[in-house]
Amino acid sequence: MAADDPHDQALMAFSIQSSPGEPAGTGDYAMFQPFCDALAGAPISGTADCEIIGQGGSFDQVDSSAARLLLTFHPTADGKAHRLELRLEGERLVGEYAFDANDVNRPVVAERSPVQ
C-alpha cells in the first residue's frame, strides 16, 4: 500500500520465492485498482481507471540481500521498468515504488496477508 494512503488500500499482492544465501529469486504479482493512482503519481483515491487493473505477472528481476529486496517488473504496455525497492522494518517491508518514466517515487509499505 502507499504509505500516505489514509485508507490503507492494497496497491498489489505479490509473492517471492528465494533460497537462503542466493541473491536472485522469483516472484509474481497481481495489481489492484488503487495502483492506477500510484502509477500516475497522484494521491490514492481508489477511483482511477487504467490498463493495469486486475493484471498480474511474474517479476522480471528479484534481487535480495540482507539489507534490501529489489523487484523489477513491466506491467504497462510501453514496456518500461517499474521497481519496488524494499527493506525489512520490524514485521513489514518499507521502501519505494519507482517508475522513472513518470518521475514517480512513492513510499510504500508491504505487509503479510492475514492468514485465512
pTM recorded for the entire structure: 0.89
* pLDDT tops 70 at residue 24: yes
* pLDDT tops 60 at residue 116: no
Average pLDDT over residues 52-78: 93
pLDDT at 30: 96
Residues 44 and 80: their CA atoms lie apart, in Å, by 22
Average pLDDT over residues 15-21: 88
* pLDDT tops 80 at residue 51: yes
**CA atoms lying within 13 Å on the CB side of residue 59:** 25
Sorting pLDDT into bands at 50, 70 and 90, what band is 115? low
